[in-house]
């Protein structure tokens, strides 16, 4: 069964991809050899339940969208341009997790710093269509390139990768053998891995790129990356580069519970981006905004949608759907004025997976029993900690991965990218913002020995600052305590330092086996559609691009259900390498026969 057939039957800030360039940055020596993900056939028109009445006089064209994050704003943008009546309901703040968060001192920070790799092509389309004063290409012109990536160790070798990466001559023709040889050479020389480990790692990447879609979905999605790469059998240095040292920063995930399918897709897409193949026009492997996310993108987007007629209601939280038979009759919401019932012709849920799970009740399951799988999807914590500095601390002209930090810290120095810096905010004395992400909240710290989730906000700040200094100050005093003006922990972390600590905004993670559990945007509830980075999307991982793609899929499913003559949303899919297709064809037959990939010396199905 093909991927597209499976989808029919079953129905991204840096946020997601943080710095996979280090794991594949070396592999760029030959990974023109790596193509797009196995999900490339999921997309252009999500399956719909059948035509309904959508008359040209406006009847049957009202849409209620719940959630004003990237997925909800995308759906609103596409629908309002197609003549629908759109109302968006948001429980918290417009922009969702992508929004800028201001400290009590008026300083701008982020839930997580933003990252627009070159293979983002759907999200950037909406940015081009969002006007911004003085920009011919709208908000898209506010993107600027980050030119380096720093892989920083504590008291040992650091690795700086420049963008664009100096790519050696690519072998022609590309074969699995010269692919493995070339990648192994880079892993040995750049990452300083022992020769046998370099060859083994390259061989495992060769297995993935020559695996057919059926194996990627049926086998590799069920195998953790840590097991696939045999990280527990290898040296600490191997683990730092090929397992948790990199993978735990791709999303709120660790190599022990990261699907090999998802990590493989990230690697393939990132390498293509490095090689400028399949990129957004003018795109590079690492792009960021030239100012706070809300002011440079989200606020103009909301203003544009309001101008087109979209209605926004903030402080309105979805509590459930009233389902009659196969349709939503109304939605129940809590509002600043009390509980209320909402009527609409069509309903799109663009809320995060952890917020949608409580919506699933017996009536919803009676209409579509497969939605029960959503209850098994998992989330994890990945939240921002902002250090506001009195001096510039660029560190590197891009993102930094603190590879030995037990809290899986990563950062970017915002001041060097923001027009006018930060002097216009707060009391005017702040010159930089070291925007940090904590991806591991469950491992004891280097200095206080406590898990981040067990610490008070003050302890979190002090320990993260100490971990970063241990990485950056081993050769020079990059950061000094006197530089620190103030700090801000993401307010989504509630009850820090108490047993009741919680995270109001966790992220969906792609744990092994999660692909089969994820829904499509169309459901068995005829007028209810799902949008977000947790539905089945081609990009697969938790990103703004995935959220945008999910929003577009929900619109396409709605258009089909409405029998609308409006054009469907175009959905760009990840690039694929044609030269691997003969090897994938052979692997398809081997997979159907129950055999391992021909290049898989150690079949990951066995210990």
Per residue in 157-175, pLDDT (tens digit) is: 688 887 776 666 666 677 7
Per residue in 172-190, pLDDT (tens digit) is: 677 788 888 888 887 887 7
Pairing between strand 148-152 and 159-162? antiparallel
Q: What percent of the chain has pLDDT over 90?
A: 65
Question: Is 198 inside a domain boundary?
Answer: yes
Question: Which of 15-19, 276-280, 433-437 is least confident?
Answer: 15-19
Tokens of residue 381, six digits: 């914590």
How far apart CA 143 and CA 417 sit, in angstroms, is 9
Beta strands in 464-573 (DSSP E): 484-489, 493-494, 502-503, 507-509, 528-530
| C-beta separation of 240 from 229 below 8 A | no
Which residue in this structure is represented by tokens 């919401």?
333
Beta strands in 245-368 (DSSP E): 287-289, 311-314, 317-324, 327-335, 338-342, 346-349
Which residue in this structure is represented by tokens 């069920």?
222
| C-beta separation of 294 from 130 below 8 A | no
Partners of 410 in beta bridges: 401, 437
Per residue in 316-370, pLDDT (tens digit) is: 999 999 999 999 999 999 999 999 999 999 999 999 999 999 999 999 999 999 9
Question: Is 231 inside a domain boundary?
Answer: yes
| Residue 131: pLDDT band with limits 50, 70, 90 | very high
Question: Is 460 inside a domain boundary?
Answer: no
CB neighbours of residue 323 within 10 Å: 22
Question: Is 539 inside a domain boundary?
Answer: yes
Report the candidate in 285, 367, 297 with the shortest Cα–Cα distance to residue 118: 285
Long-range Cβ contact pairs of 566-571 (< 8 A, separation 24 or more): 566/82, 566/83, 567/82, 568/44, 568/45, 569/78, 570/44, 570/125, 571/43, 571/44, 571/122, 571/538
pLDDT for residue 5 = 33
CATH value at residue 335: 3.50.50.60
Question: Is 497 inside a domain boundary?
Answer: no
Per residue in 53-87, pLDDT (tens digit) is: 443 334 489 999 999 999 999 999 999 999 999 99
Q: How far is CA 178 from the centre of its chain?
A: 32
Residue 443 has pLDDT above 90, yes or no: yes
**Structurally, how many domains does the chain consist of?**
1
One DSSP character per residue, 369-431 reads GGGGGGGG-EEE--EEEEEEESS---SSSEEEEETT-TT-EEEEE-TTTSTTTTTTSTTS---
How far apart CA 78 and CA 74 sit, in angstroms, is 6
Per residue in 280-298, pLDDT (tens digit) is: 887 778 899 999 999 999 9
Per residue in 501-516, pLDDT (tens digit) is: 999 999 999 999 999 9
| Contacts of 476 by beta carbon, 8 Å cutoff, 6+ apart | none
Question: Is 466 inside a domain boundary?
Answer: no
10 Å CB burial of residue 409 (0-12, 13-18, 19+) is: buried
Question: Is 411 inside a domain boundary?
Answer: no
Tokens of residue 441, six digits: 């909240």
CB neighbours of residue 52 within 10 Å: 18
Partners of 144 in beta bridges: 288
Range(s) of the domain holding residue 257: 1-142+172-375+512-607
Pairing between strand 148-152 and 327-335? unpaired
Residue 139 has pLDDT above 70, yes or no: yes
Full-model pTM: 0.89
| Contacts of 214 by beta carbon, 8 Å cutoff, 6+ apart | 1, 2, 3, 588, 591, 592
Question: Is 482 inside a domain boundary?
Answer: no
- Which runs of consecutive H residues, i.e. helices, occur in 222-361? 225-228, 236-242, 244-247, 260-274, 293, 299-308, 353-356
| Residue 2: pLDDT band with limits 50, 70, 90 | very low
Helix (H, G, I), strand (E, B) or coil at 217: helix
Per residue in 460-487, pLDDT (tens digit) is: 999 999 999 999 998 788 999 999 999 9
How far apart CA 104 and CA 117 sit, in angstroms, is 31
Residue 9 has pLDDT above 60, yes or no: no
- Per-residue DSSP letter, 522: B
């Amino acid at each position: 069964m093909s991927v597209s057939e499976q989808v029919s039957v079953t129905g991204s800030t840096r946020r997601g991809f943080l710095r996979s360039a280090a794991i594949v940055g070396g592999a760029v020596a030959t990974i023109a050899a790596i193509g797009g993900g196995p999900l490339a056939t999921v997309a252009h028109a999500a399956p719909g339940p059948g035509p309904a009445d959508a008359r040209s006089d406006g009847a049957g064209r009202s849409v209620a969208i719940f959630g004003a994050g990237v997925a909800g704003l995308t759906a609103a943008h596409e629908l309002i341009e197609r003549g629908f009546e759109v109302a968006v309901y948001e429980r918290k703040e417009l922009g969702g997790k992508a929004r800028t968060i201001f400290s009590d001192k008026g300083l701008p920070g982020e839930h997580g710093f933003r990252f627009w790799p070159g293979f983002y092509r759907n999200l950037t389309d909406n940015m081009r269509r969002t006007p911004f004063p003085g920009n011919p290409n709208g908000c898209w012109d506010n993107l600027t390139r980050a030119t380096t990536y720093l892989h920083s160790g504590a008291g040992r070798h650091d690795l700086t990768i420049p963008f664009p990466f100096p790519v050696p001559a690519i072998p022609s023709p590309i074969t699995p053998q010269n692919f493995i040889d070339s990648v192994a050479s880079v892993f040995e020389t750049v990452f300083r891995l022992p020769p046998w480990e370099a060859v083994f790692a390259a061989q495992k990447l060769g297995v993935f790129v020559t695996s057919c879609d059926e194996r990627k979905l049926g086998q590799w999605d069920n195998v953790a990356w840590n097991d696939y790469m045999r990280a527990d059998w290898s040296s600490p240095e191997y683990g730092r580069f090929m397992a948790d040292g990199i993978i735990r920063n791709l999303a709120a995930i660790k190599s022990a519970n990261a699907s090999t399918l998802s990590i493989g897709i990230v690697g393939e897409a990132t390498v293509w981006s490095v090689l400028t193949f399949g990129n957004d026009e003018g795109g590079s492997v690492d792009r960021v905004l030239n100012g706070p996310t809300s002011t440079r993108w989200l606020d103009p987007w909301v203003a544009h949608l309001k101008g087109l007629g979209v209605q926004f209601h903030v402080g309105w939280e979805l509590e459930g759907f009233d389902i009659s038979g196969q349709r939503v009759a109304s939605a129940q919401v809590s509002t600043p004025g009390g509980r209320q019932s909402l009527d609409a012709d069509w309903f799109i849920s663009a809320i995060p997976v952890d917020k949608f799970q409580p919506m699933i009740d017996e009536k919803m399951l009676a209409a579509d029993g497969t939605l029960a799988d959503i209850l098994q999807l998992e989330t994890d914590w990945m939240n921002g900690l902002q250090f506001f500095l009195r001096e510039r601390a660029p560190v590197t002209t891009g993102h930094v991965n603190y590879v030995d930090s037990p809290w899986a810290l990563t950062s970017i120095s915002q001041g060097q990218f923001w027009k006018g810096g930060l002097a216009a905010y707060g009391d005017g004395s702040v010159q930089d913002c070291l925007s940090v992400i904590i991806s591991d909240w469950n491992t004891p710290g280097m200095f206080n020995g406590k898990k981040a989730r067990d610490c008070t906000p003050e302890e979190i700040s002090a320990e993260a600052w100490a971990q970063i200094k241990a990485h950056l100050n081993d050769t020079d005093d990059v950061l000094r305590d006197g530089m620190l003006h103030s700090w801000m922990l993401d307010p989504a972390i509630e009850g820090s330092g108490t047993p009741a600590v919680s995270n109001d905004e966790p992220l969906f993670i792609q744990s092994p086996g999660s692909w089969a559990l994820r829904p499509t945007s169309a459901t068995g509830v005829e007028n209810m559609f799902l949008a977000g980075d947790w539905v089945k999307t081609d990009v697969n991982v938790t990103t703004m691009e995935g959220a945008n793609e999910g929003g577009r899929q929900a619109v396409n499913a709605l258009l089909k259900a409405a029998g609308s003559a409006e054009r469907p949303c175009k959905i760009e899919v990840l690039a694929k390498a044609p030269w691997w297709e003969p090897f994938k064809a052979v692997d398809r037959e081997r997979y159907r026969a129950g055999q391992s990939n021909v290049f898989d010396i150690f079949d990951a199905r066995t210990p």
